Amino acid sequence: MRVGVTLACTECKRRNYTTTKNKKNDPNRIEMKKYCKFCHTHTVHKETR
């Protein structure tokens, strides 16, 4: 049930993180607030396809 997803920064659009999610519990795209080493700040990262 768990699938790997890539998270991209909403500010600079770079793909910084990979994680897993449960498609049954989270059918929509996930958003997490994480540190972007390119922006040098904490920003919202969204799931990419």
Determine the pLDDT at residue 49: 82
- pTM for this one? 0.85
Determine the pLDDT at residue 32: 94
Domains of the chain as residue ranges with CATH: 2-48 (2.20.28.120)
Q: Which two tokens stand for residue 31?
A: 């958003």
- Can you list the positions of beta strands (E) in the chain? 2-9, 15-22, 31-36, 41-48
* pLDDT digit string, tens, across residues 30-42: 999 999 999 999 9
pLDDT class of 1 with cuts at 50, 70, 90:
confident
Report the alpha-carbon distance of residue 38 to residue 27 in Å, rounded: 29
Mean pLDDT of the chain: 94
Of the candidates 17, 40, 25, the residue with the CA atom closest to the CA atom of residue 7: 17
